[in-house]
Amino acid sequence: MQPLSRALTRQARRQVCSSAHRSTAAVSATVVHHPALSAPVNLDSSSSRRGLATARYLDDGSARSAVINVLNNIASKREVQQYLAQFTSVSSQQFAVIKVGGAIMTDYLDVLCASLRNLNQMGLFPVIIHGAGPQLNKLLEAAGIEPQYNEGIRITDGKTLGIARRLFLQENLKLVEALESWGVRARPITSGVLMADYKDKDTYQFVGEVNQVNAESIKTSIADGYIPVLTCMAETIEGQVLNVNADKAAAMLARELVPLKTVYLSEKGGIHDKETGKLIEAINLDEEYEEYMKKPWVIHGTRSKIRDIKTLLDDLPRSSSVAIIHPEALERELFTHSGAGTLIRRGTKLQQASSLAEFEDVAQLKRTLIRDREGFDSANVVDRYLDSLKSRPFKAYYDESMEALAVVLPPADSKSSLAHLATLTMTRSAWLSNIADNVFQNLKRDFPKLAWTVKQDDENLTWFSEKADGSIARDGQVLFWYGIESPEEVRELMSEFVQHGRQMFGDINLESQLHRASVAAERIRARAQELATGRGGHAGQQQARAFSTNARPRARNVGMKTQGQQRTYATTNPNPPLGVKNREKDYPARVAVIGARGYTGQALIEMLNRHPNMDLRHVSSRELAGNKLKGYDKREIIYENLSPDDVRRMAERKEIDCWVMALPNGVCKPYVDAVDASGHTEALVIDLSADYRFNSDWVYGLPELVQRNKIASATRISNPGCYATAAQLGIAPLLSHLAPGPAQPTVFGVSGYSGAGTKPSPKNDVKNLTDNLIAYSLTDHIHEREISSQLGTEVAFVPHVAVWFAGIHHTISLPLAQQMASRDVRQLYQDRYDKEKLVKITGESPQVKAIAGKHGVEIGGFAVHSSGKRAVINVTIDNLLKGAATQCLQNMNLALGYAEYEGIPLD
C-alpha cells in the first residue's frame, strides 16, 4: 500500500471535485488473507461486488474536496465520519500541535514538508515546534565545548546558549523555507510566545521551564493563512532567552491551544514493548498507566515521556490524545483509527465480569444485548442466551454506561488455545469515540488467540480487518482471527469455515438465535397471511443487524493432515533486535573503564571514541597510570590507578553512569562491591570477566539469545566469553533437535593468540606458535561450564590457540534426535537469526581471516552426515570484538537507552 501522503498529494493535484463512492469486494467466494500463507487463497470462483458508501465531502474548495475523496478511498467510513465530526468542528489552531525533533529536521525534512502540505490543502494549520539537539551537539563539539548534563538535562552556559540561539534560528528558517518551496505558507515565530522561569539557575544556568504561552501570534498567523513554526527557545519576563525542552514546550502549547491531537514525530515510530519487540499501538492511561509504570523496561526516557504525557492529558479534554509517530505516517495517524505509531489517550476504563452475578444491573445488560437487534421474541431470545451463560465460562468487557459490550468464550479445553468473541455490541458514539479500540486492546492482552465472524456488509468491516491477522470470506460471512502463527492451524480453521460457515461455532451465538427467531416469525406471519387470504406466497425475511458474531466451536479433528512437510520448529526470530526502538536518550552517558590495559579494553576505547553518546571520563590501569590515553579524541584522558575506595566515592557522587570492569578473572569483586555500597542503584556495571557469569542476580549479556528486555532493564550485566558466544550461537537453533544424552555436542575451538592476553606466556609467544597448534584445558575449561550452563545441556569444549592474532574458529559436531537434511538445518539458522545484524549465515564454511576486525559472527558449513543424525557447523568470531568489546557496547546501548547497534560498524 502506498503511503497516505503520496496518495493524498496525487489526488489533490488532480483536483477531483465530483462526488465519488468507495467500493469493495463483497464476494461469496472464499478469499483468505493471512501472513502464515504464502499468498491469498481463493477457494471459490464465483464473486460479486457491491458499493459500500457514498463519499461525503466538504464544499469549501476543490483541493480540500479532493483530499477528502482520498480519505474515503483509504480510511474506513467510520474514520471519515469521525474526521468530519471532529476536525471540522474545531478552530484551525485547535487541530494539532506537532513537535519535530532535530533528527527529523535532518533526515526527513522533505517527508515532513509533504505531509504538512497535504494537511494545509485540507484547510488545516497544525502548530509546529521544533528542536535541534543533534545539530547542537555537533556544533559544540566543533567549537571544543564539552556538553555538560545533570540528570539528563543539558547544562546551558552563556557560550552554549549563544551557539544554540543561532542554530535554532537557522533551523527555524530552514524549515520555513522548505515549506515555502513545497507551496506551504509558513511563518517563523521565534520569540514572544513561550515565557519561562529559570529551572535551577545555579545548576542548569540558562535552562528554563515554560510557565506561560502567549498564543496571539499563533492565532494571527493561522488567521492570515500561515502555518506557525516555533523553536524551543523561551524568555523570561525581563527578556532573557532560555533553552527549554522541546517536549515540555509542546505540552505547554497543547495546554493553551487544546488541540485534538498532540503529535511527537520520532524516527523510532512510537514506543516499542521491549519484551516483545512490537510497537505499542495505544496506551489508555486511565486503565494502563500504573501497569506500564511497573514494567521493568519502562525506564529512562520512556518512563518520563509517559509520565509527562499523562500530566498533559489530565489537563485536557478527554477527547485529546498524544501520538508518537514516524513522519512518514503523519496523515495516517491523524485520519485513521489504526494509526501508525503509539497513540496515548486517557481512554475509557473498562470493567470485566466472568459471571452474571458480577453485573450490577442485569436488566441493563439485557437491554444492551437487545439494542440494535430488535425483532420477534428478541427479549425471550436474550433471556435464553443469558441462561446459557450461567453454565459456561465467559469473560465480558464493558464500560460503565455499556456503550460497548464484548463477551468472549475462552478455549473449550486444555488442548485448544483459541478463544472466541461471541458477542460485540457497540453504539455509534462508542465506535466514534474509540472505545472499540480499547476493547480490542483488552482482548489481545487477555487472549493470545481469538477468532470471530462478521457479516460481510458490516459497515465496520475495515476496522475488524485491521485488528485481525487473517480472514476468510464465504457466503456473506467473514471469519477473522489473530494470534495463529502455524500454517497448519490456519488451514484447519479455514477448512472448517469453508465446510460449515458460522455453524462451525455451534449453536450458542446470540446473533444466530435472533436471526432464526426472526426468520421463524416471518414464516409464521406468511403462513397466517396465506391461510387468511387463501393465496400462497413467500414473505421476505427480516435480518437482524449484528456487528460481529461467533461462539464456541464444536470439537475439531486437530490431527487433520495437510499437504507438505510439517515443520516442528519456529520460523521467526523469537527475540528480534530492538535496534533504534531502544533509543530513549539523546544525551551522553558517563563511562569509566577499570582495567583498560588489555586488548579488549583498547578495542572498547576505540569504539567509545566513535560512539556519539558514550562519554568516557576515567580509565584505570595500575601499569599505565600517569600516561595519556591513546585512541580517544573527545577529550584528553590520563590513566589513573583507581582503588575500590576511589570507585565508591565516585559512585556516591553519581559521577559515572556505566562502569566497565575489564579486569582478569577473580579481580573485579572489590570494585563491584564498592559500587553496590555507594547507594547509586541506577549505575550500570558490566563485567567482562567470568566472575559473575554464573550469578543469577546478574543478567547474562548475549542479546541474540537472552531476552533483550532483560538486558535493557538490567543494572548488572555479565559479558559472555568469546569462545562461549560463538559456541552458543552455533548450537542454539538446533538445541531442541539434539539427541538425548549421553550423546552431546562437541566444540573444537581454535583462537588467535590475543585471547591469551598481554601477559607473556607460551600461548601468546608467536615464535612458539609458528607452524604449531597448542591444545590446552582439554576438559573442564570454564567456557565449557559456561556454554553448558547457558544452553541447559552438556557440551564438550576443546580449546586450542594458533599463530594468528585475532579470531576464533569453531567446528561443532551436533548429534541429532531425528534425521534432518542440510537445507533444513540451514533454514533453522536463517529463521532463528532473522534480522540479527551481527549474525551472518553463509552456505560455505566461514574463514578466520575474513572475520578478523569484523564486529559480528559468521555461521556456515551446515554439513549433515549420510545417516542424517549428525550435523557439523562452523562458526567464526573476532574474540576481541563480538567476543568482548562489541558485545559490551551492544549491552551498554541496550541498558543505557541507546539504539542497540549505535556506534557499532555493521559492514
Rounded CA-CA distance 797/812 in Å is 9
CA separation for the pair 829, 833 (Å, rounded): 6
Residue type, 794: E
Between 102 and 69, residue with greater pLDDT: 102
Band (pLDDT 50/70/90 cuts) for residue 506 is: low
Q: For position 157, what pLDDT does the model report?
A: 93
**What grid cell was written down for 188?**
517563523
Could you tell me which residue, 384 or 398, shows the higher pLDDT? 398
Looking at mean pLDDT, say which of 7-11, 558-562, 593-597 comes out highest: 593-597
Segment 725-740, tens digit of pLDDT: 999 999 999 999 999 9
Q: pLDDT tens digits, residue range 603-613?
A: 999 999 999 89
**What phi and psi, each to the nearest 5 degrees, are found at residue 237?**
-65, -25
- Point out the least confidently predicted range of 125-129, 563-567, 864-868: 563-567
DSSP string, 109-122: HHHHHHHHHHHHHT
d(CA 777, CA 759): 18
What is each CA distance from 531 to 32, 520, 527, 528, in whole angstroms?
Answer: 46, 16, 6, 5
The confidence score (pLDDT) of residue 554 equals: 36
Report the alpha-carbon distance of residue 494 to residue 472 in Å, rounded.
7
Please state, in angstroms and as integers, the Cα–Cα distance from residue 712 to each residue in 589, 836, 891, following that order. Answer: 15, 17, 8
Sign of CA dihedral 86, 91, 95, 96: negative
**pLDDT at position 526, please?**
64
Q: What is the distance between the alpha carbons of residues 311 and 21, in angstroms, rounded to a whole number?
A: 42
DSSP 737: G
Respond yes or no: is residue 888 known to be catalytic: no
Percent of the chain with pLDDT over 90: 46
Residue 566's pLDDT band (boundaries 50, 70, 90)? Answer: very low
Residue 667 grid cell: 579481580
Which residue type, as a one-letter code, is found at position 777? S
pLDDT tens track for 317-367: 877 889 899 988 887 766 655 557 888 988 778 888 988 888 888 888 888
Residue from 329, 335, 430, 259 nearest 80 by CA: 335
Predicted pLDDT at 866: 95
| Residue 256: predicted pLDDT | 92
Give the span between the Cα atoms of 670 and 666, in whole angstroms.
10
End-to-end, the C-alpha distance of the chain in Å comes to 31
DSSP state for residue 845 in the 8-state scheme: P
Which of 232, 668, 722, 888 is catalytic? The answer is 722
Q: Are the beta carbons of 551 and 506 closer than 8 angstroms?
A: yes
Q: What is the pLDDT of residue 90?
A: 52
How many other β-carbons are positioned within 10 Å of the β-carbon of residue 311?
Answer: 12
Confidence of residue 555 (pLDDT cuts 50, 70, 90): very low
Q: What is the pLDDT of residue 569?
A: 38
In this predicted structure, which of 424-428, 537-541, 629-633 has the lowest mean pLDDT?
A: 537-541
- The pLDDT score that the predictor gives to residue 38 is 47
Determine the 3-state secondary structure of 102 from DSSP: helix
Check residue 856 and report its DSSP letter: S
| Residue 752, beta-bridge partner list | none
Does the structure show a pLDDT above 70 at 807? yes
CB 838 within 8 Å of CB 855: yes
Determine contact, residues 368/405, Cβ cutoff 8 Å.
Answer: yes
- Strand, helix or coil for residue 835: coil
- pLDDT at position 33 is 56
Alpha-carbon distance 848 to 251, whole Å? Answer: 54
Task: Count CB atoms within 10 A of the CB of residue 95.
Answer: 24
Range with the lowest mean pLDDT among 242-256, 284-298, 671-685? 284-298
Pick the closest to residue 665 from 566, 785, 548 (CA basis). 785
Contacts with 89 (C-beta within 8 Å, 6 or more apart), sequence order: none
More confident residue, 274 or 526: 274
pLDDT of the residue at 85: 54
The H-or-E segment that residue 521 falls in is: helix 510-533
Find cell 547474562 and name the residue.
Answer: 700
- Closest residue by Cα to residue 516 from 556, 543, 538: 543
Q: What is the pLDDT of residues 270-281, one digit of tens each?
A: 998 887 778 888
Per-residue CA distances from 475 to 46, 253, 412, 466 (Å)? 10, 52, 26, 21
- C-alpha to C-alpha distance for 408 and 508, rounded to whole angstroms: 12
Q: Are 549 and 509 in contact (CB under 8 A)?
A: yes
Q: Is the peptide bond before 742 cis (omega within 30 degrees of 0)?
A: yes
Helices (H), 182-278: 201-204, 216-223, 246-257
> Which stretch, 100-109, 175-184, 285-294, 309-318, has highest mean pLDDT?
175-184
* pLDDT of 98 higher than 90: yes
Tell me the pLDDT tens digit for each residue of 44-81. 433 333 222 222 333 445 545 545 554 554 455 555 55
In this structure, what C-alpha cell is assigned to residue 765? 609467544
691 pLDDT band, cuts 50/70/90, is very high
Q: What is the DSSP string of 590-618?
A: EEEEESTTSHHHHHHHHHHHH-TTEEEEE
- Nearest C-alpha neighbor of 75 from the set 339, 282, 330: 339
Domains of the chain are: 1-16+49-76 (no CATH), 355-532+540-549 (3.40.630.30), 588-691 (3.40.50.720), 722-884 (3.30.360.10)
Q: What's the mean pLDDT in 668-691? A: 94
The DSSP annotation for 306-326 comes to HHHHHHHHHTS-TT-EEEEE-
Q: How many whole angstroms separate alpha carbon 147 and alpha carbon 385?
A: 68
Cβ atoms of 639 and 596 within 8 Å: the answer is yes
537, pLDDT greater than 80: no
Using pLDDT thresholds of 50, 70 and 90, give the confidence band for residue 767. confident
Q: Using alpha carbons, select from 306, 401, 391 the residue that is nearest to residue 355.
A: 391
- Is the Cα torsion angle 235, 241, 245, 246 positive or negative in sign? positive
Look at residue 46 in the predicted model and tell me its pLDDT. Answer: 37
**Average pLDDT for residues 453-470, to the nearest whole number?**
85
- Tell me 824's DSSP state: H
User: Is 719 within 8 Å of 604 (Cβ atoms)?
Assistant: no
Nearest to 589 by CA among 655, 648, 508: 655
Q: If you average pLDDT over every residue of the chain, what do you get?
A: 82
What pLDDT was estimated at residue 336? 57
